[in-house]
Amino acid sequence: MRRLICATAVMATLALGGCSTPKPAMEQANHGVGLIAQLESSLTEFRRVEANSLNARGESLLAQRKAIAFVDREKQRDLQARVAAGDTLSSTLIDKLAANTEGLALAQAEYGDTNARNEAAVAALLAPLPNTRSGTSAVQAKLSALGEELSWDIRRSELQAFIKAVKDSVEDGRKKIEEAENKAKASATTAAPE
């Protein structure tokens, strides 16, 4: 039994001693870390360019909507001026325009409200791209761990844990065998006629 344990320990030492991480696997993991770094760099640049593009589009949309609101306001003023121009005399026209100041003030307020709604609508349309740095950093950290050779101390502790597990298993098996043999002897003694 002792020889079995010793033989198992020697075999495990030889197997785990030569059982290092294959160089191609470490190179592939390290290559993956580099690729993820390049990906994150490219994604950062893409987000920057996309944010600039979104800002330009937002400014363009806002300018268009302001222009539309301005034209609507001016159209309302023109309409009120024509209504008031029933009399072509300047003084009458001025009196009628003064009477329509409330309508002009309402048109100006509507113009301001329209611009505020347009700004809110454009801001809602332009959501920035999410940041992926935390996700790629986590993957990069896990991949970099695969690209490193385990130290001898870690390998030795893993080997010792394996040897202890084998030894405990053998001891447990030996105890179970002894218990089974004792039960067999006990049942043979009680079953045997005297």
For the stretch 117-136, pLDDT in tens is: 888 888 877 777 778 788 88
Asked if residue 9 lies in contact with residue 166, where contact means CB atoms within 8 angstroms, the answer is yes
pLDDT digits (tens, 9 = 90+) for 158-179: 888 888 998 898 899 899 999 9
Residue written as token pair 């098996």:
173
- Expressed in percent and rounded to 5, the helix, strand and coil fractions of the chain are 85, 0, 15
The neighbour count for residue 140, using CB atoms within 10 Å, is 19
pLDDT surpassing 70 at residue 57: yes
pLDDT at 85: 73
User: pLDDT category, 30, cuts 50, 70, 90?
Assistant: confident
Q: Write down the pTM of the prediction.
A: 0.40
Lowest mean pLDDT across 3-7, 38-42, 83-87: 3-7
Q: Report the distance separating Cα 150 and Cα 122, nearest Å.
A: 54
What burial class does residue 81 get, using C-beta atoms within 10 Å of its C-beta: 0-12 exposed, 13-18 middle, 19+ buried?
middle
pLDDT at 101: 75
Cα dihedral 88, 92, 94, 99, rounded to 10, equals -120
Locate 90 and state its tokens: 């300047």
pLDDT > 90 fraction of the chain, expressed in percent and rounded: 2
Residue written as token pair 């360019």:
49
Render the burial of 20-51: b for 16+ CB within 10 Å, e for the rest. Answer: eeeeeeeeebeebbeebeeebeeeeeebeeee
Residue 85 is given by DSSP the state: T
- 129 — phi, psi (to 5°)? -70, 145
- 191 — phi, psi (to 5°)? -85, -20
pLDDT surpassing 70 at residue 47: yes
CA 143 to chain centre: 17
pLDDT at 107: 82
User: pLDDT category, 7, cuts 50, 70, 90?
Assistant: low
* 182 half-sphere exposure, CB direction, 13 A CA radius: 6
User: pLDDT category, 93, cuts 50, 70, 90?
Assistant: low
User: pLDDT category, 17, cuts 50, 70, 90?
Assistant: low
